[in-house]
Structure 1
Amino acid sequence: MAIPEIGSAAPGFTLPGMIVRGGVRTDDEYSLDAEVGRPVVLAFYPGDATPVCTAQLCSYQQELDDFRDVGAVVWGISPQGLDSHEGFARGSSLTFPLLADVGGDVIRAYGVRAPGLGLRRSVFVIGPDGIVRWRHIGLVGLRFPSAETIRAQVDLLVD
């Protein structure tokens, strides 16, 4: 499928996810529709506990309070299951939800599937109105936008 254009409606979805806070894993369903009214950052990443993915998500974790201060939600999405996500979250001290797109439906809906790689490292900023407001699609997979860059895009939505 095609990558959603900036200014178009973000493809809706509901995925299983988990979060580890205070050493406790909590599983839940995460629905984009439930977040209307606040910005959502979707960080698609190829694999749990891989070097670049760890660097990317840990950088977002370091800035998580800044995202929360402006009412934004940050979700990591990859094709691994919840148990793999739990190990990654615990090992990297991640405290935001990691969603499991095991079937790849959301990865395909956002046009970030990459044959042979699984998915392209990509970030989408969804506005409070459910519209794609910014995106970064990785071509090689080793680069990712900084938390500061993403935060600047979120700030444009809440000013």
Structure 2
Amino acid sequence: MSLKVGDKVPNFRAKDQHGTDFNWEEHQGKPIVLYFYPKDDTPGCTAQACGFRDEYEDFKGLGAEVIGVSGDSEKAHTKFAQKYKLPFILLSDKDKTLRKLFDVPTNLLGLLPGRVTYIINKEGIIIEIFNSMKAVNHIPIALNAVKNMK
């Protein structure tokens, strides 16, 4: 199954950077920027995370939540979030369940996990998908999509 624009995101569970259970259904009712990235504490992923951090108040002001997803462990996410003062949720996807659910492609001959951002409205419907390895391009596109929901 490949989720696409117009699809409702099915319920899923994962662990966040605090080791807490994250249940998708509990986060419905507000816009969500769900972004998949390759790896914590690498140059592109750090630039992307810090970009979302720097615009986080704008997202919150629009009623949206930002959630990052990678295959790193909860412990790695904790270090990454603390090091860069990331105020949003980071989900651990060690077994690639979420990547498979969202059908996030790999890049560089299948060696590198893809970088894809899903903009999801308050009803849980995907309204935009942005797939680009250019990390910093995701933030303005996501912010603009959330602004256009209003």
TM-score, length of structure 1 as denominator length: 0.86
Q: Is 1:77 matched up with 2:69?
A: yes
Please, which moves more after superposition, 30-39 or 77-86?
30-39
Cα distance between partner residues in 2 of 1:134 and 1:62: 21
What SS does the corresponding residue of 1:145 show, helix, strand or coil?
Answer: helix
Task: Give the aligned length.
Answer: 147
The Cα RMSD (Å) is: 1.4
Structure ranking higher in helix proportion: 2
Cα distance between partner residues in 2 of 1:92 and 1:143: 16
Shift of 1:142: 3.6
Cα distance between partner residues in 2 of 1:102 and 1:69: 31
> What residue in structure 2 maps to residue 120 of structure 1?
114
Q: Residue 133 of structure 1 aligns to which amino acid in structure 2?
A: I
Cα distance between partner residues in 1 of 2:63 and 2:144: 13
What SS does the corresponding residue of 2:4 show, helix, strand or coil?
Answer: coil
What SS does the corresponding residue of 1:83 show, helix, strand or coil?
Answer: helix
Distance 1:113 1:149, change over 3 A: closer
Indicate conservation of the 8 Å contact 2:51/2:136, yes or no.
no
> What residue in structure 2 maps to residue 136 of structure 1?
130
2:92 to 74, 96, 100: 100
> What residue in structure 2 maps to residue 51 of structure 1?
43
Cα distance between partner residues in 1 of 2:23 and 2:77: 18
Shift of 1:102: 0.8
Unaligned runs of 5+ in 2: none
Q: Residue 131 of structure 1 aligns to which amino acid in structure 2?
A: I
Cα distance between partner residues in 2 of 1:56 and 1:71: 20
Indicate conservation of the 8 Å contact 2:12/2:23, yes or no.
yes
Shift of 1:143: 4.0
Q: Deviations over 1:80-110 (max 9, x none)?
A: 1011111111221211111101110011111
Q: Percent identity?
A: 29
1:149 to 138, 141, 145: 141
Cα distance between partner residues in 2 of 1:68 and 1:6: 23
Runs of 4+ in structure 1 off by over 6 angstroms are none
Indicate conservation of the 8 Å contact 1:121/1:144, yes or no.
no
Q: Deviations over 1:29-79 (max 9, x none)?
A: 222211221001101000000000000010010000011111111011000
> What residue in structure 1 maps to residue 53 of structure 2?
61
Q: Residue 15 of structure 2 aligns to which amino acid in structure 1?
A: P
> What residue in structure 1 maps to residue 9 of structure 2?
10
Q: Residue 5 of structure 1 aligns to which amino acid in structure 2?
A: K
Cα distance between partner residues in 1 of 2:64 and 2:141: 14
Cα distance between partner residues in 2 of 1:98 and 1:12: 17
Q: Residue 6 of structure 1 aligns to which amino acid in structure 2?
A: V
